[in-house]
Structure 1
């Protein structure tokens, strides 16, 4: 019997997509598998030595992990979900990527081209659904153009103001042969500040007696953080950071004055209002960073605001600044480092002193003191530890009392999304297994993603979860006490035994109900997958604030 040589297997659309992820520098992809993209799951098996496919238990978590991965690595994060319910579940991560200006690709399965428009099983028009949230919605319909379109998707996610891109995958196209080659997205030179604008800024800095440097925005590199410190020292500038961007500057640096956002230091806000030059670098001046748009008024802006931002639409969007400069932070910092030095030690010391006083732990009347829990984490863990959180009143303690000492150590949604911290921490632990990762979560926040403890066990990740349990949706409860005293409604929670829940997934877990018990529990938990359940008095609603018992 004469054997005939086997025919070579044709490369498919799915193969080109998988190769495109490799060429774009993607190292982790986060997915909930679905039958609508089976050929792509198969193609990813061929590149598993270069792209680790992380299997998640909910699409919201997969999208949040992709968003967190992008913040850590500077490259677009990638999530894969199935059509219909999978896509709608993932919408929360897409929204966070938009509001946080995070580059991300959401790959969504779709019904076949021959079924579109018939309201087929799980059919959704993704251009309509996500057209206002994503930077672009691309449908891969032409097999021989898939390499081009994937490179375009990555470029769109990174260009200008970074953000999410949706790539729609009709299931009758993924298995088709493709003559396309995967294409690496081209690097783009970021915009540098105009020389005339920097000269004008130099004149304003020279005249300013009380300037403030505000840092924020996406995708800061380690060298940007170092350059910002040199600029602050050279130009005599106190530094504030925007909402949930504290890792843009060493929080123990003598020039650091604090964070502008929810729960900001009132004394710092007054100092910023008294400044005679507010130099904003990277931040978009959104609601939380500007205290509901009250920190700046039109008259202040036209006299004292200088705004440098990668997003041209953010310049002049709310206020008309004295000077608007379209530039990315790196080249802007290079230009600022060349300006003549100035000395303003008295002003710098005044504002940094406000920060030192503000970060002294507050006291509680009963139960565990969350301020001391955060102070213990901050002092006992390495400076490069990554801290993750979602949303809730528990975060007020974290943001106020933890000092970020190194870049890319904060994963927190400026979108204010609950359920973010758990998946973000898992992604961080997988990407950086050599670093300590801490997830600080409230009880309500944690349970929105608690199913991902299965992902921790399955993937061998080693985050530490610190669950602050006060048995309520604390932020809403606080607002109720203010606006509807004595009438709590819908905010009380019934919780599981969090330590027992964690142990059922194979984690080390303990429960702490006294402040002094936290430090030894931390020593037993650090360095491995673990959870510390911290029982908090529900009346201790925020740092220095207590509910009236019985309301």
Structure 2
């Protein structure tokens, strides 16, 4: 437990009380960038059992905490200072919001008596984070710290998970109190209504072309196992949503692919052809619905069943015939104990779904000496099923999503909000949580440079991971859209890159440069065997702008 502080007063100060409550919430690691606004918390952490990972920028700290929430299902915790620190952290809050990830962000604040005077680095966090967080609260006294922290953790994980922000005025952290540490609140969980389950089975049994679309953040490996068993038992094909491909083994014979950015056109057609769409754990938002265009609303014969832990999502993005307020795992567990007898023979339908996916992931040639699809396919074949792969945002990720097949839950960590710079902090968080597993961060050159300073964090804590840099010298996604709308008029999308091998060496890493595809397997094996972090630069041809297009084809 933390010390009681330096003062002669034997009562603990607010920072120690907060840390003690975090321990009660089973927090073992936090991510931070230090600030004088929460020195009491740093003092409380000094002798505690909680590991404090000190990051180089608040965006990196917040991304790491968000990734922790994805990986564990428990709220990730970050501490940042007031004003600029909170502003830097806002990208992580946005990611936690859109990705439905439980997270608690603690923010330093000016003294209470200085509030609402635009004091140095003052921000009204209720206004600043109000529409992104599930709850924003500013401490009023040290006595309320245990209750507020316990409530924050419960809210972050309840229903649709998401971020919570707690503001920490300096004077409140200075206060001393004999308040007792509080037991954790138990979030209210929704179990599926039995009548709704029966109605779902009735719909399934009369369907001819059903499709399950799995996604969302409330998931587990048991959920994977139950879903795979249900699909095997019924023959119903399964698709996944954007950056949630690890919700089923992609080598399952009934897996149909992912509804991602630039999705397989045949999978989009399959969604339109369904007569029953079971949305399992996903909000089915902008990306999987292809800009809210599928499924088309004119098909009155299609039944749409939405399973989600919060009823607030029912009917928000598309009409729902049946909404089941439940965690996916709880519904699948119910279904596993019940008899489901489909009247239709689904083998032809399921085979069609699977064959369209197999055709889609077939490696195709692209310009350049380094064939990115071949490298991703090699990784998919050779990495163990326990390997965790992280990524941020950019066209490079489209190659990963198309040609890499996750096999187990928790092995794909990406931002569905499209946050550039996410992959490296996420990889740090993953490797810290699972030190014995291989962790690979795939990052574009533009994406990596947004949080490249966290290489220093990796070196400081001796985190042995592998970074693959897809270097094409472009902000690739923006260039693709630019060439589509304004061909030949290149503006603001070229990118300078450092010598990544020298940069890796400067940080004490192992570095590799791949200029031909055949060099990659040996470079990767050397990186695996290195006793330090590794970076492999892939020199890609900018002409290969996406898995399906080239710059020349966009211009023609």
User: Taking structure 1 as the reference length, what is the TM-score of the superposition?
Assistant: 0.96
- Identify the range of structure 1 (348-357 vs 388-397) with the bigger mean alpha-carbon deviation: 348-357
Residue 219 of structure 1 pairs with residue 218 of structure 2: yes
Q: Deviations over 1:90-129 (max 9, x none)?
A: 0000000000000000100000001111111100000010
1:475 to 456, 474, 477: 477
SS of equivalent residue, structure 1 residue 465: strand
Alpha-carbon separation, structure 1, partners of 2:554 and 2:319 = 48
Distance in structure 2 (CA, Å) of the matches to 1:464 and 1:301: 50
- 1:416–1:254 distance in 2 versus 1, CA, 3 Å: same
4+ runs deviating over 6 angstroms: none
**What does residue 78 of structure 2 align with?**
79
- Following superposition, the deviation at residue 480 of structure 1 comes to 0.9
How big is each residue's C-alpha offset from its partner over 1:423-463, in whole Å with a ceiling of 9 and x where there is no partner?
Answer: 00111111111000010010000000100000000011111
Contact 1:25/1:75 (8 A) holds in 2: no
Pairing partner for 2:543 from 519, 530, 539 = 539
Report Cα offsets for 1:6-52 as digits up to 9, x if no partner. 967211211111011111122210000000000100101121xx311
Judge conservation of contact 2:151–2:185 (CA < 8 Å) in 1.
no
**Secondary structure, counterpart of 1:299 in structure 2:** coil
- Aligned pair in 2 of structure 1 residues 502, 341: CA closer, same or farther (>3 Å)? farther
1:187 Cα deviation (Å)?
2.5
Mapping of 1:455-494 within 5 angstroms? 455-494=457-496
Which of 394, 397, 402 aligns to 2:396? It is: 394
2:4: which partner in 1? none
1:90 maps onto 2:89 in alignment: yes
CA positional deviation for 1:325: 1.4
Q: Does 1:39 align with 2:40?
A: yes
How many Å apart are 1:360 and its aligned residue? 1.4
Aligned residue for 2:240? 241
Count residues in correspondence.
Answer: 544
Q: Report the equivalent of 1:424.
A: 426
| 1-structure distance, mates of 2:301, 2:208 | 17
Aligned mates of 2:218, 2:511 — CA distance in 1: 34
User: Does the 8 Å contact 1:234/1:341 carry over to 2?
Assistant: no
Using the alignment, how far apart are the partners of 1:260 and 1:547 within structure 2?
Answer: 24
Aligned to 1:132: 131
Whether the 8 Å contact between 1:301 and 1:322 is mirrored in structure 2 is no
Between the aligned partners of 2:298 and 2:199, the Cα distance in structure 1 is 19
Determine if contact 1:282/1:308 at 8 Å carries over to the other structure.
yes
2:483–2:554 Cα contact (<8 Å) kept: no
SS at match of 1:174: helix
TM, length-normalised to structure 2: 0.95
Contact kept, 8 Å, 2:100 with 2:160, in 1: the verdict is: yes
After superposition, the C-alpha distances for 1:178-199 in whole angstroms (9 at most, x for unaligned) are: 2222223223352111111111
- Distance apart, 1:376 and its partner CA: 1.5
Distance verdict in 2 for CA 1:341–1:25, change over 3 Å? farther
Tell me, yes or no, if the aligned pair for 2:277 and 2:302 is still in contact at 8 Å: no
Worse overlay, 512-521 or 522-531: 522-531
Query: Partner residue of 1:29?
Result: 30
Unaligned runs of 5+ in 2: 1-6
Change (3 A) 1:303 1:355: closer
Other-structure match for 1:340: 340
For 1:384, the equivalent position in structure 2 comes to 386
Alpha-carbon offset, residue 209 of structure 1: 1.1
- Of 77-86 and 138-147, deviating more is 138-147
1:271 aligns with 2:270: yes
Instruction: Tell me the distance in 2 between the aligned counterparts of 1:299 and 1:550.
Output: 33
Q: 1:116 to 1:274 in 2, by over 3 A?
A: same
The equivalent residue for 2:318 is: 319
Task: Provide the residue aligned with 1:3 in structure 2.
Answer: none
How much has 1:364 moved relative to structure 2?
1.3
The 10-residue stretch of structure 1 (343-352 or 128-137) with the greater mean CA deviation from structure 2: 343-352
Name stretches of at least 5 consecutive residues in structure 1 with no aligned partner. 1-5
For residue 189 of structure 2, what is the aligned residue in structure 1? 190
Q: Does 1:500 align with 2:509?
A: no
Deviation at 1:352, TM superposition (A): 1.1
SS state at 2:288 partner: helix
